Amino acid sequence: MRTQVGIIGAGPAGLLLSHLLYLQGIESVIVETRSREEIEETIRAGVLEQGTVDLLNAIGVGERLNKEGHFHEGFELLFQRKRHRIHVHELTGGKYITVYAQHEVLKDLISARLQTGGQIRFQAEQVSLHDLDSERPKIRFRQGSDGEWQDIVCDFIAGCDGFHGPSRPSIPAARRTEYQKLYPFGWLGILIQAPSSAPELIYARHERGFALVSTRSPEIQRLYLQVDPRDDLANWSDDRIWTELHARLETDDGFQLIEGPIFQKNIVSMRSFVCDPMQYGRLFLAGDAAHIVPPTGAKGLNLAAADVQVLARGFSLYYRSNQRDYLDRYSEICLRRVWKAERFSRFMTTMLHRDEQHSPFDQRLQLAELEYLTSSRAASVSLAENYVGLPLEF
């Protein structure tokens, strides 16, 4: 089989890229290990930057998002029993924070791609990359363990296969530098059936640890609790989760957390990670395959969307006007923005989490940071513009 751009991974990065290429008349095939059902059921991100929403609308997949998404004008920081609103809309000249689940975005993208004749090879096994530094790189895989081996010969390969996929390790170790920071924090995430407790997201810093109140729909809420990343879900009964959430979200201003049946629980660990460069030969990495941020800044999916816009532009210039120089600068263009999101995500994470290593001095600094952010307009503008997404520099 032959295609122009072989894409590994049908996550936000891979699906968006395939759609952007389709709109430019560039052919692609996506190879994905999971089934469509599994992809459409995995609970992950919730917050979309204005730029990501604009992109989804521009490529014609924003219809359900506009009906079912939640558009918030701000969010709240809760510390020392008080909530402080960051009025993002006003501070950023009219931008919104959109809450619309990642798996809903994926459903919309998969359906749009299949409707337009896009090829997605779900449940591919033993996917590997070959001849990356040649003119004709290849993706090899089989469908089913006794299926025939298949090769897709491509002009380029886009590695959109997340942090654990085979693309990044296919770059010779000597040709990439990996920057990494691990955190002693994990998030226990729950989905509950209940009306929302607050009209906007609440990020809470508490001596007992971080908590986050988010939403999915008027009937389903998403809540997170900082836990030890090595902790076992079996240690977290529903009662214990509610006790902790109530303690961390207690305020003097009458906020009431509404409880409801918990129907999903999971624990995720967090890291900061960057691979530099994000390209090698004819392989280009995008999204989590190239970089990871801790979820406190709500940036991961949004960074993936930004990468593939740059990449699609590079492919378009290559095929339309035989210009390779933009594609050659792909990594350099993306990494400038990636590092700023890494900075912001780390800043939010260290400001809001309880750290066993922290001295009383560090704890007072956390509070001073929060007080400054919520009392200085200059600081609030900086927080808001980062949260809603820095401009995409092409």
Catalog residues that contact ligand PHB under the rule CB under 6 A: 45-47, 201, 212, 214, 222, 295-296, 298
Whether the CB-CB separation of 376 and 382 falls below 8 Å is answered with no
DSSP 8-state symbol, 259: P
What CA–CA distances, in Å, run from 227 to 188, 266, 342, 354, 394?
6, 11, 22, 10, 39
The answer to the question of residue 62 lying near ligand RFL (CB under 6 A) is no
Nearest approach in angstroms of CB 390 to ligand RFL is 13
Exposed/middle/buried for residue 251 (C-beta within 10 Å: 0-12, 13-18, 19+): middle
* Cα atoms in the 13 Å half-sphere on the side-chain side of 370: 26
Backbone angles phi, psi at 145, to 5 degrees: -70, -20
Nearest approach in angstroms of CB 1 to ligand PHB is 37
Selection from ligand RFL, ligand PHB, none that 161 binds (CB < 5 to 8 A by kind) is ligand RFL
The answer to the question of residue 190 lying near ligand RFL (CB under 6 A) is no
Selection from ligand RFL, ligand PHB, none that 302 binds (CB < 5 to 8 A by kind) is ligand RFL
Nearest approach in angstroms of CB 120 to ligand RFL is 10
What CA–CA distances, in Å, run from 123 to 10, 60, 112, 135, 179?
11, 27, 19, 27, 31
What CA–CA distances, in Å, run from 199 to 215, 241, 255?
9, 22, 11
The answer to the question of residue 211 lying near ligand RFL (CB under 6 A) is no
Site for ligand RFL (CB under 6 A): which residue of 3, 6, 9, 203? 9
Selection from ligand PHB, ligand RFL, none that 366 binds (CB < 5 to 8 A by kind) is none
What CA–CA distances, in Å, run from 375 to 152, 264, 379?
56, 37, 8
Site for ligand RFL (CB under 6 A): which residue of 32, 73, 76, 244? 32
Nearest approach in angstroms of CB 362 to ligand RFL is 25
Reference 3, options 150, 122, 144, 172; nearest CA is 150
The answer to the question of residue 31 lying near ligand RFL (CB under 6 A) is yes
The answer to the question of residue 118 lying near ligand RFL (CB under 6 A) is no
Residues that bind ligand RFL (CB under 6 A): 8-14, 31-34, 39, 44-47, 102, 124, 127, 160-162, 165-166, 187, 189, 268, 287-288, 295, 298-302, 304
